[in-house]
Amino acid sequence: MHKIKVPKILFLALSIASFYKKTFYNTNDLTALANKYKKDLVRQRVDKKDYKYLDDTNFGGLRGNFSTLLTWKGFVRRGTSIVNRCSVGKDGRLVNAICNGEIILDPKDLTANTENDRLANLLETEAWLLNVREGQAHIKVMLERNQKLPLVRDSDNFAKVSVVKTPKDQYFIRAIVNNFTKDDVLEYSILNLWEGKKLKKKNLHLLIVVPTKDNPWGEIYAIKNEDLFTNKPLLLQINLTSRKCTDKSGNLYELHSLQDAIEKFSTGDENITARLSYRWSELKNRDAIAEIDFGEKKEDEFSVFLNKFLNWQKKFQIDGKDVVDMNVSSSGGPDVTLVYSGGTTQKIELEHNWKNFLDHKHHLDNAWSNVWLFAEEKWDENIILKLFKELRETHRNRIPDIFLCIDNDERKVYRAIWEENRFEEVGLKF
């Protein structure tokens, strides 16, 4: 059995997991649940009843600490607003494991206990990532300890943001470690570069800090603001072996040393034309997923697939081939990759509804060529034909022809015979 000591805020998030069986979207949601169900762990101030202002708890400021814990998953439309969508970990596995009893929490010593090696590794990774994010958040402390670094905080222009400047008046903002997409690929959120009106104040470049096992500030790199402006990515991935930096569309970005950046990068008062034309609201609208009902919190697509379709079994047979493993893919393409016994693979896109595949414009991107599609929406052949047949003629293999679904409470796989307007069942054995 694995007995893992977890940080206090992670323990709090996991301890309320059974109360958010469907995915929460932001720190406000988690804070409300913590105050509703775990008052024994949250000390409220008598003069501040509203959970939005609970900044005095056993675990520090709740919303601030949750923001350091969570993995950012994107934007979602909630009514007329666009809000953050987050998760504990890179997918729903830890939350599901709590709900299914595969992880048992012990409040006496703040430990998570499990017999599952993979879950134990996930818990340890999340605890480490939390420590990294918290360590990198204290940029003032780091600068005090490393006074030879040619960087100082600009508290006048950016009182509550991790912005630093050089002796040559170049300005940098720190990217935030998000999560691993693969074992050797670490993802960063750069929302704090784009959000609000910070770019109107100063021409901000990006600091990317690659942590080591024992040092959150292991290696410091920089990316030019001008290189990012064309695509305006919200997430970046760093291959920890090659130090190759890409966004989810595969665009490459050059990582510069800090010294190289000081010698070559533009100052905080440059890049005026691009900064004047920039609108944060336009970027949020560009990346927000399809609108959902305000009161509905949908469960993470991977959690639905793992729970409802696979029933937590990662070894099965489909279309006569033995599946021996399943990998959660990076954010640069389809969600899941099946690994067959012969070493070949098959990518699967996971959606809540069939139409979401088109809403997300996957049929316009070659990364989704020859992909299979799973959705938790009820199986209906007529809906599939109406949505996809005509587009199949134009977009060919970027439109799926294999559909995984729940049909009359049974797990089914169907292959589309487009020219005959029908579907044939594909063999599936667990």
Residue type, 83: V
In this predicted model, which residue has the larger pLDDT, 260 or 58?
260
Structure-token match 């987050």, residue found: 86
Distance CA 286, CA 171 (A): 26
Residue type, 154: D
How big is the chain, counted in residues? Answer: 430
Q: By 3-state DSSP, what share of the chain in percent is helix, strand and coil, each rounded to 5?
A: 35, 30, 40
**Residue 62, pLDDT score:** 78
CA nearest neighbour of 29 among 425, 21, 159: 21
**Residue 55, pLDDT score:** 40
**Residue 246, pLDDT score:** 94
Q: What value does the mean pLDDT take over residues 379-386?
A: 93
For the chain, give the percent of residues with pLDDT over 70: 89
Tell me the pLDDT band of 248, cut-offs 50, 70 and 90.
confident
Tell me the pLDDT band of 424, cut-offs 50, 70 and 90.
very high
**Residue 302, pLDDT score:** 72
**Residue 22, pLDDT score:** 53
Tell me the pLDDT band of 96, cut-offs 50, 70 and 90.
confident
| DSSP characters over 254-305 | --EEHHHHHHHS--TT--HHHHHH--HHHHHHHHEEEEE-TT--PPPHHHHI
| DSSP characters over 136-179 | HH-HHHHHHH-TTSS-EE-TTT-TTS-EEE-TT--EEEE-EEEE
- pLDDT of 53 > 60? The answer is no
Q: What is the pLDDT of residues 110-154, one digit of tens each?
A: 899 999 999 999 999 999 999 999 999 888 889 889 888 999 998
In this predicted model, which residue has the larger pLDDT, 373 or 300?
373
- Poorest-confidence range of 85-94, 115-124, 409-418? 85-94
Distance CA 359, CA 100 (A): 32
In this predicted model, which residue has the larger pLDDT, 129 or 77?
129
Global pTM exceeds 0.85: no
- pLDDT of 426 > 90? The answer is yes
Q: What is the residue-averaged pLDDT of the chain?
A: 85
- pLDDT of 303 > 90? The answer is no
In this predicted model, which residue has the larger pLDDT, 80 or 316?
316
Element containing residue 361 per DSSP (H, E): none
- φ and ψ at residue 424, rounded to 5 degrees: -120, 145
Q: What is the pLDDT of residues 323-379, one digit of tens each?
A: 988 877 644 578 888 888 888 999 999 988 899 899 888 888 888 889 999 998 889
**Residue 23, pLDDT score:** 52
- φ and ψ at residue 228, rounded to 5 degrees: -85, -25
- pLDDT of 199 > 60? The answer is yes
Distance set, CA 232 to CA 76, 132, 189, 366, 381 (Å):
18, 25, 12, 20, 39
- Poorest-confidence range of 204-218, 287-301, 349-363? 287-301
**Strand 336-340 relative to strand 345-351: parallel, antiparallel, unpaired?**
antiparallel
DSSP-based three-state secondary structure for 370: coil
**Residue 329, pLDDT score:** 60
Distance CA 163, CA 109 (A): 37
- pLDDT of 193 > 80? The answer is yes
**Residue 412, pLDDT score:** 93
